[in-house]
Amino acid sequence: MRLPTLSLLLALGLLLGACDSASDAPEPTFGDPYTVLVTDESPVIRDSREGPRVRVEVEYGGGCEDHEFVLRSRMDSKNAEIWFVHDAKGDPCYGLLQATFERPVPEAVMQAESVTLLTPPSSNALQLSVPARR
């Protein structure tokens, strides 16, 4: 009789403890398929005259429509996660394209101790370095 009660309490404790984590936030959506390419110059967060920007090189299918990549972010008390949502605008073409682009990084993200670039499920998340604050 004691073992089932203890097991139930342990399971309940683990469940309640997990609810306090930032990972309980809904998983981000990435939109249409794409892959983040890792190169010497990408992905990276850098300072510019316009403020901090994330530079990313991606590969995706298409070729008939202009595609859009929108930066999204979420934070907990110390960590930030950023990712891109890809809108292929219904592109019916099957070409394999590569693009490099930069997007402004929200100031709140720059205050985080760590910034992780989340990538579509077929790829790995990438830890990014934040430029030193002046």
What confidence tens digit (pLDDT) does each residue in 26-75 have?
Answer: 789 999 999 999 998 899 999 999 999 999 999 999 999 999 999 999 99
Question: Cβ contacts of residue 47 below 8 Å, gap of 6+?
Answer: 53, 131
- CATH T-level fold of 25-128: Immunoglobulin-like (2.60.40)
Distance CA 77, CA 114 (A): 11
Residues 12/5, Cβ–Cβ less than 8 Å: no
Q: What is the pLDDT of residues 119-128, one digit of tens each?
A: 998 667 888 8
* Cα angle 14, 12, 18; round to 5: 35
Neighbouring C-alpha atoms within 13 Å toward the C-beta of 90: 0
- pLDDT band of 13, cuts 50, 70, 90: very low
